[in-house]
Structure 1
Amino acid sequence: MSEQDNQAVHHPAVVAHHQSRAGDVQLRIADAITKFAGSMPFVYAHAVAFALWMLFFEANPWPTLTLVVSLEAIFLSAFVMIGQNRQAAFQQIKADHDFIEQELELKTNTELTRAIHAMTTELHSRLIEDRAEQ
């Protein structure tokens, strides 16, 4: 599938949003981390890592494990907030785009309605003239 075909499938606001995010390395890294952190492989990897840590690497793993898990939770919550901010920005872009499109549609419909009204008025006046001539 060509890039043009791929863009035709998506809403223009989505395409613009993805292009703007693709240009920023920090956002791409945050997106990749957020995508992985929200997946089942992330859960499985942590379950295995924590089990191995508790069983084989430390006799008393709780203090260090608690510190690591707390620090990880802090960073993951930051990535969740980044994801929420990204989603909010995307929703705003899409809402703005949709508003503009709806306004253009309203303007077009208004112009069509006026044109139909003018044509109908012209037709009625011609019918009246034709009846008057008979």
Structure 2
Amino acid sequence: MSARQRPRPLDPALRAYAAQRRHALEDRVADAVTAFAGSMRFVYLHVLWFAGWIVLGVEEYPFGLLTMIVSLEAIFLTTFVMISQNRSDEKSEVLADHRWQTVQHQEEQNDELLRIAAEILEVTRTSSGSAQGSA
């Protein structure tokens, strides 16, 4: 049972980040768990589980064992939510770094273009000045 697959990111920095996460087993497991736990299949499975537990009479009311199982599950799910939040923060940092590198590259290109434009202007002034002096 798997959750719906997310589309692959278009940003090259995010694609590289996703590829890096696919290398570590613990990242793949965490991503799979958070994807499933954040799906409607997860909700439907729990509705069936709780209804079955109660209807089949697995234990008597007040359902102490069920409460303990659900509490343990909540502890683990909370941990996976925090893992997912950390992943989201990492993705934001990757994007910010990529944008910063892009801005720096554009700055270098702009500086180069300004330098070339100044050289062209200087050559144009020099050639037009010498053309007027010889006439």
Give the TM-score range, shorter chain: 0.7 to 0.9
Deviation digits for residues 42-80 of structure 1 (CA, Å, limit 9, x no counterpart): 011111111111222223153222222211111101001
What is aligned with 1:14?
A: 14
In structure 2, the residue matched to 1:91 is: 92
Partner residue in 2 for 1:123: 124
Q: What's the counterpart of residue 28 of structure 1?
A: 28
Question: Does the CA contact (< 8 Å) of 1:53 and 1:61 recur in 2?
Answer: no
| Aligned 8 A contact 1:17 1:90 in 2 | yes
Q: Which amino acid aligns with 2:120?
A: M
Higher helix share: 1
What is the TM-score when the length of structure 1 is the normalising length?
0.84
Asked whether the equivalents of residues 13 and 97 of structure 1 are also in contact (C-alpha less than 8 Å), the reply is yes
Distance of 2:108 and 2:117 partners within structure 1: 14
Q: Is the 8 A contact 1:54 1:61 kept in 2?
A: no
Aligned amino acid, residue 49 of structure 2: A
**Partner in structure 2 of residue 103 of structure 1:** 104
Q: Give % identity.
A: 37
After the TM superposition, which residues 56-75 of structure 1 pair with which residues of structure 2 at under 5 Å, given as runs? 56=56, 57-75=58-76
Structure 1: stretches of 5+ with no match in the other structure: 1-6
What is the alpha-carbon root mean square deviation over aligned residues? 1.8
Would you say the 8 A contact 1:31–1:83 is kept in 2? Answer: yes
Question: Following the alignment from structure 2 to structure 1, what is the Cα–Cα distance between the partners of residues 44 and 114?
Answer: 61
* SS of alignment partner, residue 10 of structure 1: coil
Query: Which whole-Å CA distance do the structure 2 matches of 1:13 and 1:87 have between them?
Result: 14
The two structures have a TM-score, normalised by structure 2, of 0.84
Match of 1:48 in 2: 48
Secondary structure at the counterpart of residue 16 of structure 2 = helix
Q: How many residues align?
A: 127
Counterpart amino acid of residue 122 in structure 1: V
1:83-107 per-position Cα deviation (integer Å, ceiling 9, x unaligned): 1111111221222122112111110
